[in-house]
């Protein structure tokens, strides 16, 4: 039998006296997008940093293709690409210079670097910016460069820590699309605190709450926990509620005043796409779009209760 691409085995981590991660177990065997979902402070970055060999765990093990990350980090890292939560970009390098630097850091053979960098730039659609200083790129393009450095050495397994954090709604859609594309040829593990992100991108989800795993399953399994599907949308030049209601996939529109609408939908990806596209087409000036927070909170509450009862 082939080794799993990733195996996280009884992983626990303690900062000083405080446990941040407890008894995490999971395995990934195929290509696709896998999601670590959890509120801020739930332990996602700790798990990812350990998986990448940046942080040494207190207990347990992580294996990449059967290679222990803590015991044989150099070998394990050859199969691994990582975009940390704060992308380690060098603002004073051009995109191309930076990616060459990243390829060197990955110990790639010198003669393969130029091709590999070009390929990564093509994949991430940044080839036309290759001579541009990173400091002069938009947030969305900086994130693409961050993803390009994670894939430049063509690793099988790619870890992205909150890859869409801080991007605007259009950039989020673009980066998600890129991630899905990359996942056709690679195994991608991403973390997010945004419920809608896992729904939009992930094939399988592990949810973490206070350092413990409270859910593991498909997006479909996860959706069964979801109560009302609603979005909060702020439009600076809003149409009438009736006009919003006309968009495909929208079930109900409630005008909350102050250019803010609560929108119920059937399928989040489609609803967001419709709203974003219509907003561009009709100049509604979309300022904000997010899953309604209360439903997110209630899912967390529900799942963390389940996590606790399972343990008892
Ligand atoms: P997430 O990425 O899900 O937001 P983190 O893994 O960053 O969560 O943090 C998990 C917990 O560990 C939090 O309570 C956080 O405050 C704590 N923590 C993270 N890094 C450190 C550190 N270097 N020292 C002490 N505590 C930390
Ligand atoms: Mg984090």
Tens of pLDDT, residue by residue, the chain (312 residues): 678 999 999 999 999 999 999 999 999 999 999 999 998 999 999 999 999 999 999 999 999 999 999 999 999 999 999 999 988 899 999 999 999 999 999 999 999 999 999 999 999 999 999 999 999 999 999 999 999 999 999 999 999 999 998 888 999 999 999 999 999 999 999 999 988 888 889 999 999 999 999 889 988 777 666 555 688 999 999 999 999 999 998 988 999 999 999 998 877 788 889 999 999 999 999 999 987 755 555 666 666 565 554 333
Ligand 1: distance of its center to the CA of 37 in Å?
A: 15
Is the CB of 38 inside a 6 Å radius of any atom of ligand 1? Answer: yes
Three-state DSSP string of 71-122: CCHHHHHCCEEEECCCCCCCCCCEHHHHHHHHHHHCCCCHHHHHHHHHHHHH
Is the CB of 43 inside a 6 Å radius of any atom of ligand 1? Answer: yes
**Structural Rg of the chain based on CA atoms:** 21
Characterize 245-267 residue by residue with b for buried, 16 or more Cβ atoms within 10 angstroms of its Cβ, and e for exposed: eebebbeebeeeeebebebebee
Burial class (CB in 10 A: 0-12, 13-18, 19+), 101: middle
Q: Which ligand is nearest to the CA of 165?
A: 2
Please report which helix (H) or strand (E) contains residue 144, including its range. helix 139-151
User: In this predicted structure, what is the pLDDT of residue 312?
Assistant: 31
User: In this predicted structure, what is the pLDDT of residue 301?
Assistant: 64
Token digits for 70? 């803590």
Q: Whose CA is nearest to atom 17 of ligand 1?
A: 20
Ligand 1: distance of its center to the CA of 120 in Å?
A: 31
What's the length of the chain? 312
Q: Which pTM value belongs to this model?
A: 0.77
Is the CB of 279 inside a 6 Å radius of any atom of ligand 1? Answer: no
Report DSSP letters for 12-60, one per residue: EEEETTEEEEEEEEEEE-SSEEEEEE--TTSSHHHHHHHHTTSS--SEE
Work out the number of other CB atoms within 10 angstroms of the CB of residue 235.
21
Contacts of 87 (CB under 8 A, 6+ apart): 142, 143, 145, 146
Ligand 2: distance of its center to the CA of 206 in Å?
A: 15
Ligand 2: distance of its center to the CA of 295 in Å?
A: 22
User: In this predicted structure, what is the pLDDT of residue 309?
Assistant: 42
Q: At what angle do helices 95-105 and 139-151 cross, to 10 degrees?
A: 30
By C-alpha distance, which of 18, 71, 98, 11 is closest to 47? 11
CA separation for the pair 91, 235 (Å, rounded): 33
User: In this predicted structure, what is the pLDDT of residue 166?
Assistant: 85
Q: Which ligand is nearest to the CA of 38?
A: 1
Is the CB of 20 inside a 6 Å radius of any atom of ligand 1? Answer: yes
Work out the number of other CB atoms within 10 angstroms of the CB of residue 192.
23
User: In this predicted structure, what is the pLDDT of residue 230?
Assistant: 81
Ligand 1 atom closest to Cα of residue 85:
2
């Amino acid at each position: 039998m082939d080794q799993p691409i990733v195996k996280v085995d009884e992983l626990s981590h303690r900062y000083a006296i405080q446990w941040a991660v407890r008894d995490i177990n999971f395995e990934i065997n195929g290509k696709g997008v896998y999601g670590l979902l959890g509120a801020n402070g739930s332990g996602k970055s700790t798990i990812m940093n350990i998986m990448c060999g940046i942080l040494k765990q207190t207990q347990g093990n992580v294996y990449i293709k059967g290679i222990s990350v803590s015991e044989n980090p150099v070998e394990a890292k050859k199969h691994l690409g990582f975009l940390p939560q704060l992308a380690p970009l060098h603002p004073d390098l051009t995109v191309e210079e930076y990616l060459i630097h990243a390829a060197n850091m990955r110990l790639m053979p010198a003669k393969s670097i130029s091709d590999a960098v070009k390929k990564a730039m093509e994949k991430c659609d940044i080839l036309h910016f290759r001579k541009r200083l990173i400091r002069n790129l938009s947030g969305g393009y900086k994130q693409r460069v961050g993803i390009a450095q994670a894939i430049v050495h063509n690793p099988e397994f790619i870890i992205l820590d909150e890859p869409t954090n801080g991007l605007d709604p259009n950039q989020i859609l673009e980066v998600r699309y890129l991630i899905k594309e990359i996942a056709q040829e690679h195994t991608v593990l991403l973390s997010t605190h945004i419920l809608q992100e896992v729904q939009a991108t992930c094939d399988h989800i592990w949810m973490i709450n206070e350092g413990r795993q409270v859910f593991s399953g498909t997006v479909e399994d996860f959706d069964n926990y979801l109560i009302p599907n609603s979005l909060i949308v702020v439009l600076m030049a809003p149409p009438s509620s009736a006009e919003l209601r006309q968009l495909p996939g929208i079930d109900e529109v409630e005008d909350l005043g102050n250019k803010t609408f609560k929108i119920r939908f059937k399928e989040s990806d489609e609803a967001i796409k419709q709203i974003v596209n219509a907003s561009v087409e009709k100049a509604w000036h979309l300022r904000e779009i997010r899953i309604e927070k209360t439903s997110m909170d209630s899912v967390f509450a529900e799942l963390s209760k389940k996590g606790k009862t399972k343990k008892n």
